[in-house]
Amino acid sequence: MLWLFRFFTASIGRKFLMALTGLGFILFLGTHLAGNLLLYRGGNAFNAYAARLHAFGGLLMVFEFGLLVFALIHVLFGLWLFYENYRARPIGYRVRKSGPGQTWGSATMPYTGLLILAFVVYHLIRFHFADKTSVTIYEIVKNAFQSPLEIAIYMVAMAAVALHISHGFWSAFQTLGANHPKYMPLIRGLGLIFSVVVGIGFGFIPIYMTLV
Amino acid sequence: MELNAKIPEGPLPEKWDRHRFELKLVSPANKRKFDIIVVGTGLAGGSASAALAELGYNVKTFCIQDSPRRAHSIAAQGGINAAKNYTNEGDSIWRLFYDTIKGGDFRSREGNVYRLAQISNAIIDQCVAQGVPFAREYGGLLANRSFGGAQVSRTFYARGQTGQQLLLGAYSAMMRQVAAGRVRLFPRREMLDLVVIDGRARGIVTRNLLTGAMETHSAHAVVLATGGYGNVYFLSTNAMSSNVTAAYRCYKRGACFANPCFTQIHPTCIPVHGTYQSKLTLMSESLRNDGRVWVPVKAGDKRRPEEIPEAERDYYLERRYPSFGNLVPRDVASRAAKAQCDAGKGVGETGLAVYLDFRDAIRRDGRAVIEKKYGNLFQMYEKITGEDPYKTPMMIYPAVHYTMGGLWVDYNLMSTLDGLFVLGEANFSDHGANRLGASALMQGLADGYFIIPYTIGGYFAGTPLETVDGTHPAFGEAIESSRKRIDTLLAVDGRRTVDDFHRELGRIMWDYCGMSRNNEGLEKAKGMIRALRAEFRENVRVPGENETFNQSLERAGRVADFLEFAELMVTDALARQESCGGHFNEAYQTPDHEALRDDAHFCHVAAWEYQGEDREPVLHKEPLVFENVTLAQRSYK
Amino acid sequence: MKKSIHVTLKVWRQASGGDKGRFETYPLKDISTDMSFLEMLDVLNEALTHSGKEPIAFDHDCREGICGMCGAVVNGRPHGPEKGTTLCQLHMRHFSDGDVLVIEPWRSRAFPVIKDLVVDRGALDQIIIAGGYISVNTGSAPEANSIPVPQGAADKAMDAAACIGCGACVAACPNGSAMLFAAAKVSHLALLPQGRPEAARRAIRMVEKMDGLGFGNCSNITECEAECPKEISIAHIARLNREFFRAQLASDEK
Ligand SMILES: Cc1cc2nc3c(=O)[nH]c(=O)nc-3n(C[C@H](O)[C@H](O)[C@H](O)COP(=O)(O)OP(=O)(O)OC[C@H]3O[C@@H](n4cnc5c(N)ncnc54)[C@H](O)[C@@H]3O)c2cc1C
Ligand code: HEM
Ligand code: FES
């Protein structure tokens, strides 16, 4: 099994894990967003959705556990790569001007990632582990977004997610070796659309919640 | 000294076979007992290192650049010849042989050139197997194009980067041997001297260019593949570090230097544009496949090329050489361009340029086709000149490009010093007085892959060689004299820079020992070179010290050798009272200004033997015997 | 149409690997716009020599954009601002009068500075030694036309093989990664039928070597592709990744 160890510690192997877990998150974000859009249809719809989700019970646990493992891998390997990348240039350039290759998204991956991490912890405490014995999840959400600070945190985080995905989406395909002149432009386009949809889809929720 | 070329007996096509049979062999198990030094990692040195190591020899390989992949061969653009006859035009080994002999104006050996043609096909096979991405037809088979001096398409190419791809092939084969532990690489080393013990080459002295340390290396034989000396002209298409130093130091140690005055001036280069210019850029000869060379009919015509109507253009190559047209050999094309400019018809700011026009080709084939064939060359032209050759014709002018002369070698590629083998452009062997396009790459690889592996074995098997190492006094003496040379250069502390001297030397050589020569000018040049050399020794300024990475010092050493070597070139040019190929003495020309050979007196190789500082070298003549071709006035009409 | 400009250079000077190094400022007058960037440095070096100072060390050889020896970061851009151009092929006509040019060596842990703008790129050779070849002994090659190679594959292989090994990809990459370099060689050889037999071993060994040399990792930032003087595409990186997965997960190679 040495070969497997070698694979997952090689630069490309680690990137393979980043891409796989990253795509996993993207799928998760897709479904999560679809669910959250129910907020726009009011408290009943949303609470019903939450209830139905929890009815899955064990399956949901498995799923959540999977997400946790993915998150651990993505975060730890991401930080490992980031540390190595940082060390690869002990003396920086006096003048650093980016060529036409770099984007805001690609330049900030580790930073947006860390921001997301902080947010996710906060987000889980705030909503996932919240005491739901006396209030519905809809009310928790509604209450949360009465505070401008929370709205701001939420929106900044969603901007970070959008930025992270704007690069991460196509980058994952490239990492997995899926770069074909016919399809790559499509993948890139899709990535941008998805990041915008995620950013606006999630990001507009707090504003909407203050309106209703 | 008797020059014995050791050409095997027998009919031309059988010589090489017979010779390989007659050469003694070193048994596979014994090969690892032999150490070989290879100096140079161009096509010749790279391929030799790989092939020798594959056989089991211990190889130590040296180069000036930081990586062996950067040797000057990397810059070759156009292609490599082979007698495959894939195009079904009637090519054959004999035809490639004949074209090369004739192209060289009958100043090369039949035996060597025939062998080169014989080997040519195996080179292509070898390179393809290494993964050299040659151009291919839609069906997946190899494509060919035509080059000057031939009426068949036999040139294999990889876009405009053939030299690069062939060199990377040889480099990778060599790196495989580095991985196998059979080649040890020494980059950023400059060979400063050859160590000769009991009349045999047994080692070298190198300077570590990073630290200035003098190092000695011993071996059973030394293979020199250090390229050509075109940089004696300062401005040339050679890489900046190309030099004569290694070959010249061997000459000073007793190896004869053959035909030093044979230099090739390439017709299609980007013209000089300023005094600060550091080198010239070649535009591949392949461009003459589709480009048409012309000048205005009227001298001093200052109109833009687009404004000059068809009737007022002189397509002088097509006019004078209807059957070869724009594809005449290089020496002919270069002289023709010079003649037009001398007659006041030159174009551009300096009047030292002619047009190379693709208008008709673009009209005929469309821009896309031309772009596919020459895109990178056009781009390079535009980068340098700031003009778009798809719209206005290119301006070109001849420039120093290749040196046919080099250390004298016999059929085994061994110099007059036992154990010193010389390959590639550094030897004089196969191109006579003029090299045809796409044949230097062929020769370098033939020497390295397919000749030296056998002939060096013959030498080892037939020569008793006792062990020597760096402690032998000859090494101490060589190191001492190299160090002294460096100390002397650093001590002068004069007022002129190395480049300044080099530029002036180049000017002298270009004016008097360039495209066209005459006795009076050559005599004058000799005096000027001597004076310049004397001034150099008293007035050069080399900043810094030896013990660091010191590029000025590197250049100073090379220029010091050029200043001595230039005189040898002029001496050789004066001794050859005829015109042939690239050597054009104005006193010897046909009524229509073609080179006029004197076969009765000069059908020989001129090999010069060093006699000591400030003493005239001695000329040895190796007669050239032609049994299979008849000497004829070259005609490309 | 002769034009000349004045420029100010701020050049990294470092006497040796052990030296700390610093920037020096040099005003340059009347630089012809037809000069190449390196010729401009030549002019400065001649002046420095005359005034008894040490000239600036910089690597160069062919000055035609093919040997890959030259290279420096000019105002934050490897090989300067022109697309698809090496430093030696960059001409001063792309600069304007009064420009200030900051010139720095390639910066990478794997490329230690030797002197001024000269760095040690031996690490790239190491990657090739690890497997950047096809194992064919001289003399054992079959007839060249016995293996047809589709023109498209040959063209793509050539695109990758055009790499000049200058190291600009490493210099440009915010992570200091050598993936484009390694990918170009793996991809060139993987695309040709001749290269297939060794493809798995080559991919594994070259990547392993690359990882051990102090380069960073690829984050698909694509600065390498943007700055590569030969405009080598990151599609070759994707191909390297595929080759690597295939080699590690689906071949017998260990
Ligand atoms: C611009 C250009 C285009 C060309 N195009 C073609 C073409 O299309 N077809 C063709 O057939 N030919 C072409 N040629 C000619 C051909 O490229 C050369 O003749 C050939 O590559 C020479 O190869 P080589 O191995 O002999 O030497 P080089 O490639 O010059 O290699 C010399 C080697 O020796 C080393 N060296 C030199 N001196 C020393 C020293 N003192 N100590 C240690 N090492 C030393 C160098 O580092 C280098 O590694 C072209 C030449 C030029 C200039
Ligand atoms: C919403 C959650 C997240 C999603 C959808 C996501 C998605 C992705 C994707 C698709 C990639 C591209 C992988 C590749 O290039 O092959 C990626 C890369 C990366 N992610 Fe995330 N990620 C998320 C959270 C995080 C977190 C919490 C971190 C914390 C550190 C992080 C750090 C990184 C880093 C550093 C990279 C770049 C890796 C590299 O290319 O070197 N990500 N992410
Ligand atoms: S000097 Fe050769 S690429 Fe610039």
pLDDT higher than 90, residue B383: no
Structural domain ending residue among the three candidates B342, B376, B399: B399
Q: Are residues C71 and C127 in the same domain?
A: no
pLDDT digits (tens, 9 = 90+) for B126-156: 999 999 999 999 999 999 998 888 899 999 9
- Contact predicate B155/B146, CB 8 Å: yes
Which of C70, C85, C91 has most ligand 3 atoms within 8 Å of CB, for mutation? C70
pLDDT higher than 80, residue B554: yes
Q: B58 forms bridges with which residues in the sheet? A: B35
Looking at the CA of C37, which ligand is closest?
3
Q: Are residues C96 and C151 in the same domain?
A: no
- CATH code (residue C232): 1.10.1060.10
Q: Are residues C85 and C145 in the same domain?
A: no
Which of A25, A85, A166, A169 has most ligand 2 atoms within 8 Å of CB, for mutation? A25
Structural domain ending residue among the three candidates B399, B429, B461: B399
Q: Are residues C143 and C242 in the same domain?
A: yes
Q: Which residues of B are catalytic?
A: 330
d(CA C167, CA C87): 12
Structure tokens at B492: 């002068």
Structure tokens at C179: 């993936």
Q: State the distance from the centre of ligand 3 to the C-alpha of C68, rounded, in angstroms.
A: 5
Burial of B402 (0-12, 13-18, 19+ CB in 10 A): buried
DSSP state of B447: I
Compute the average pLDDT of residues B243-270: 97
pLDDT digits (tens, 9 = 90+) for A93-120: 999 888 889 999 999 999 999 999 999 9
C64 vs B281: CB contact, 8 Å cut-off?
yes
Structure tokens at B127: 């390179």
Q: Give residue A128's pLDDT.
A: 86
Assigned domain for B519 exists: yes
pLDDT digits (tens, 9 = 90+) for C187-246: 999 999 999 999 999 999 999 999 999 999 999 999 999 999 999 999 999 999 999 999
Amino acid at C96: S
ipTM of the complex: 0.98
B551 vs C55: CB contact, 8 Å cut-off?
yes
CB proximity under 8 Å: B 375-414 to C: 379-380, 383-384, 386
Nearest CA to C133 among A16, B61, B69, A100?
B69
C234 vs A179: CB contact, 8 Å cut-off?
yes
Taking CB atoms and an 8 Å cut-off, how many pairs form between chains B and C? 221
**Least confident piece of the model among B45-59, B81-95, B286-300:** B286-300
Query: Chain B residue closest to C231 (CA)?
Result: B376
pLDDT digits (tens, 9 = 90+) for B561-581: 999 999 999 999 999 999 999
- CATH code (residue C95): 3.10.20.30
For C215, the closest of A7, A88, A91 (CB atoms) is A88
Q: Are residues C247 and C144 in the same domain?
A: yes
Number of folded domains that form chain B? 2
| Reported confidence tier of residue B633, pLDDT bands at 50, 70, 90 | confident
E strands present in B339-431 = 354-357, 394-403, 406-407, 420-422
Ligand 1 atom at minimum distance from B237 CA: 53
CB proximity under 8 Å: A 60-99 to C: 81, 84-99
Q: What is the largest CA-CA distance in chain C?
A: 65
Q: Give residue B380's pLDDT.
A: 87
Per the document, the length of chain B is: 637
Contacts of A85 in chain C (CB under 8 A): 174-177, 216-217, 219
Q: State the distance from the centre of ligand 1 to the C-alpha of B509, rounded, in angstroms.
A: 21
Assigned domain for A4 exists: no
d(CA B79, CA B164): 10
A147 or B611, greater pLDDT:
B611
Degrees to nearest 5, angle at CA B583 with B424 and B417:
40
Radius of gyration in angstroms for the set of CA atoms belonging to chain C, rounded to a whole number: 21
pLDDT digits (tens, 9 = 90+) for B341-365: 999 999 998 899 999 999 999 999 9
pLDDT higher than 60, residue C102: yes
Q: Are residues B387 and B492 in the same domain?
A: no
Compute the average pLDDT of residues B227-240: 98
Degrees to nearest 5, angle at CA B397 with B396 and B402:
115
Degrees to nearest 5, angle at CA B534 with B531 and B538:
135
d(CA C209, CA C247): 15
Q: Which structural domain range is residue B301 located in? A: 266-399
For A12, the closest of C176, C221, C241 (CB atoms) is C241
Q: Give residue A134's pLDDT.
A: 86
- CATH code (residue B282): 3.90.700.10
Q: Are residues C221 and C167 in the same domain?
A: yes
Number of folded domains that form chain A? 1
Q: Are residues C150 and C243 in the same domain?
A: yes
B172 vs C64: CB contact, 8 Å cut-off?
no
- Contact predicate B295/B354, CB 8 Å: yes
pLDDT digits (tens, 9 = 90+) for B1-48: 889 999 999 999 999 999 999 999 999 999 999 999 999 999 999 999
Nearest CA to C26 among C4, C53, C2?
C53
- Any chain A CB within 8 A of the CB of C159? no
Q: Which structural domain range is residue A118 located in? A: 13-87+107-211
C191 Cβ neighbours under 8 A, 6+ residues apart: C153, C154, C156, C157, C160, C239
Q: Which helix (H) or strand (E) holds B294?
A: strand B292-296
DSSP state of B300: T
Assigned domain for B214 exists: no
d(CA B447, CA B410): 12
Burial of B511 (0-12, 13-18, 19+ CB in 10 A): middle
A 10 A CB-CB count for B28 gives 9
Structure tokens at B136: 């291919």
B119, B189, B243, B278: best mutation site toward chain C, by most C Cβ within 10 Å? B278
Q: Give residue B55's pLDDT.
A: 98
Nearest CA to C144 among C155, C136, C133, C152?
C136
| Reported confidence tier of residue B375, pLDDT bands at 50, 70, 90 | confident
Going from the C-alpha of C47 to that of each of C11, C13, C42, C50, C101, the distances in angstroms are 15, 16, 9, 5, 18
Beta pairing, strands B540-541 & B420-422: unpaired
For C108, the closest of A3, A16, A89 (CB atoms) is A89
| Whether the CB of A161 sits within 6 Å of ligand 2 | yes
Q: Are residues B394 and B490 in the same domain?
A: no
Structural domain ending residue among the three candidates C104, C134, C149: C104
For B497, the closest of C46, C124, C130 (CB atoms) is C46
Assigned domain for A46 exists: yes
Amino acid at C162: A
pLDDT digits (tens, 9 = 90+) for C57-84: 999 999 999 999 999 999 999 999 999 9
DSSP state of B448: I
State how far Cα B433 lies from the chain centre: 12
Q: Is B483 helix (H, G, I), strand (E, B) or coil?
A: helix
Assigned domain for B288 exists: yes
Structural domain ending residue among the three candidates B365, B381, B399: B399
pLDDT digits (tens, 9 = 90+) for A44-70: 999 999 999 989 989 999 999 999 999
pTM here is 0.96
pLDDT higher than 70, residue A137: yes
Q: Are residues B379 and B502 in the same domain?
A: no
Assigned domain for A123 exists: yes
- Contact predicate A18/A168, CB 8 Å: no
- Contact predicate C109/C217, CB 8 Å: no
Integer distance in angstroms from the first to the last C-alpha of chain B?
Answer: 42
| Whether the CB of B226 sits within 6 Å of ligand 1 | yes
Q: Are residues C167 and C218 in the same domain?
A: yes
Structural domain ending residue among the three candidates C70, C104, C138: C104
Query: What is the nearest CA distance from C34 to chain B, expressed in angstroms?
Result: 7
d(CA B564, CA B584): 22
| Reported confidence tier of residue C2, pLDDT bands at 50, 70, 90 | low
Integer distance in angstroms from the first to the last C-alpha of chain A?
Answer: 57
- Contact predicate B258/B423, CB 8 Å: no
Q: State the distance from the centre of ligand 1 to the C-alpha of B152, rounded, in angstroms.
A: 26
Which chains lie within 8 Å of chain A at 3 or more CB pairs, if any? C
Contacts of A184 in chain C (CB under 8 A): 235
Number of folded domains that form chain C? 2
- CATH code (residue A173): 1.20.1300.10
C77 vs A99: CB contact, 8 Å cut-off?
yes
B500 vs C55: CB contact, 8 Å cut-off?
no
d(CA A127, CA A107): 31
Contacts of A175 in chain C (CB under 8 A): 220, 241
Half-sphere exposure of C225 (CA within 13 A, CB side): 17
C122 vs B187: CB contact, 8 Å cut-off?
yes
Q: Which structural domain range is residue C29 located in? A: 4-104
- Contact predicate C149/C193, CB 8 Å: yes
Q: State the distance from the centre of ligand 3 to the C-alpha of C167, rounded, in angstroms.
A: 12
Q: Are residues C72 and C131 in the same domain?
A: no
Q: Give residue C144's pLDDT.
A: 98
Q: What are phi and psi of B160, to 5 degrees?
A: -100, 25
A 10 A CB-CB count for B610 gives 18
Assigned domain for B50 exists: no
Q: Are residues B390 and B499 in the same domain?
A: no
Assigned domain for B387 exists: yes
Structural domain ending residue among the three candidates C104, C136, C154: C104
d(CA B452, CA B44): 10
